[in-house]
Amino acid sequence: MHLLALYWPLLVAILFEVVATSALQASAQFTKPLPTTIMVIGYLGAFYFLSLTLRHIPVGIAYALWSGLGIVLISIIGLFLFKQRLDIPAIIGLGFIITGVVIINIFSKSAVH
């Protein structure tokens, strides 16, 4: 099976999760209905597509990729959309997360069934 066919549900799950987490920030503790609704739909979509990923990728690997890439993307969105600054230790930590994702995808034989 082609790698894109294996990973597309995971990529969609990550996008849903990033949108949902951005909406969570914008919901102002669930006081704004539109961002709250987007958040709920986004997390439902994220978990649905993550579940599709589990057909071909072990749960530990899928969750590591999903959460790791989600953390990096939401940090970038937080920087630009919500003006949340990252200090040097946070940037180094995000670099380690990216390094971990790369190591899993390049070297791990567990990445796909």
- Domain containing 83: what range? 3-107
Report yes or no: 18 and 10 within 8 Å, Cβ to Cβ: no
Rg of the chain on CA atoms, in Å: 15
Predicted local distance difference test score (pLDDT) of residue 1? 63
Pairwise CA distance, residues 37 & 11, whole Å: 22
Predicted local distance difference test score (pLDDT) of residue 111? 67
Task: Give per-residue pLDDT as tens, 22-71.
Answer: 999 999 999 999 999 999 999 999 999 999 999 989 998 999 999 999 99
Predicted local distance difference test score (pLDDT) of residue 6? 81
User: How far from 75 is each of 4, 38, 90, CA to CA, in Å?
Assistant: 25, 19, 9
In a domain, 77, yes or no: yes
In a domain, 20, yes or no: yes
In a domain, 113, yes or no: no
In a domain, 18, yes or no: yes
Instruction: Answer yes or no: is pLDDT of 4 > 80.
Output: no
Residues 6+ apart with CB under 8 A from 43: 16, 17, 20
Calculate the CA 8 to chain-centre distance: 13
Domain count, the chain: 1
> What is the arithmetic mean of pLDDT over 2-18?
90
Instruction: Answer yes or no: is pLDDT of 113 > 60.
Output: no
Read off the DSSP letter of residue 6: H
In a domain, 112, yes or no: no
Instruction: Answer yes or no: is pLDDT of 91 > 60.
Output: yes
Between residues 39 and 3, which one has the greater pLDDT?
A: 39
